[in-house]
């Protein structure tokens, strides 16, 4: 019985001792993170130097902005520009911009429309021309289970892969387009998964 009382007393002491408040030393825990102002997606002509442009604001004051990028303006593709800024309390934040480099001299067949997977009719996607280009298209799903968006280029009836970051660690996608059958095939590397899509 005494052992039980000692045990309860120890727990009570632990509870009360752990409830003591500690001083924060008058440190304010509120900080204003930088807010970025920039275009989320930029269409850029091939061969023209790219100038990164973003503004970071903290409580109405403009902050210095740094950026990093993997853009190759000589190769059509979808590239990331990462902007970063640090506020007055030393807290940093990043923001990512998509830059779509396109060749204005390439005119692609308009392959916009609704598509479906021929082996699983419930799997569908939408292809649309990227505004401001004549050859770069975005598709909401070209593989897996409805979660594989990507960009591609059309040069006339010829489809081609362009540099981009793929979902799920995919490294590349082999593409074909048959203008007579109006049919696409995709093969995702390194997974080895292949798909066939037609228009609805």
Blockwise average pLDDT, block size 10, the chain, 200 residues: 34 37 52 87 96 90 92 97 92 93 98 96 94 98 90 98 96 98 97 96
Say what the pLDDT of residue 22 is.
Answer: 46
Q: What is the CA radius of gyration of the chain?
A: 27
How far is Cα 98 from Cα 121, in angstroms, rounded to an integer? Answer: 31
Distance CA 47, CA 60 (A): 36
pLDDT confidence of residue 16: 36
The pLDDT of residue 198 is 97
Please choose, from the candidates 95, 7, 99, the residue with its C-alpha nearest in 3D space to the C-alpha of residue 45: 99
CA dist 181 → 13, 82, 184, 196, 198 (Å): 80, 41, 9, 11, 8
Global pTM value: 0.80
**Residue written as token pair 């070209």:** 142
Residue carrying structure tokens 């924060």: 24
Correct CATH for 35-102 of 2.40.50.140, 3.60.40.10, 3.30.1390.10, 2.60.40.10 = 2.60.40.10
Phi, psi (degrees; rounded to nearest 5) at 83 = -95, 145
Domain boundaries, the chain: 35-102, 113-199
């Amino acid at each position: 019985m005494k052992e039980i009382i000692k045990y309860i007393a120890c727990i009570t002491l632990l509870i009360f001792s752990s409830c003591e408040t500690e001083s924060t030393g008058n440190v304010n825990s509120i900080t204003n993170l930088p807010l970025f102002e920039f275009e989320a997606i930029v269409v850029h002509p091939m061969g023209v130097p790219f100038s990164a442009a973003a503004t970071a604001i903290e409580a109405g004051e403009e902050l210095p902005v740094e950026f990093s990028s993997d853009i190759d303006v000589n190769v059509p593709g979808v590239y990331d520009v990462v902007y970063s800024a640090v506020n007055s309390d030393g807290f940093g934040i990043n923001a990512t911009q998509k830059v779509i480099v396109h060749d204005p001299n390439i005119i692609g067949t308009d392959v916009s429309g609704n598509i479906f997977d021929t082996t699983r009719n419930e799997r569908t996607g939408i292809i649309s021309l990227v505004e401001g280009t004549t050859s770069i298209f975005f598709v909401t799903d070209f593989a897996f289970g409805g979660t594989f968006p990507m960009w591609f280029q059309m040069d006339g009836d010829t489809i081609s892969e362009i540099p981009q970051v793929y979902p799920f660690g995919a490294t590349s996608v082999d593409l074909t387009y048959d203008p007579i059958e109006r049919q696409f095939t995709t093969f995702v590397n390194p997974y080895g998964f292949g798909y066939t899509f037609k228009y609805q």
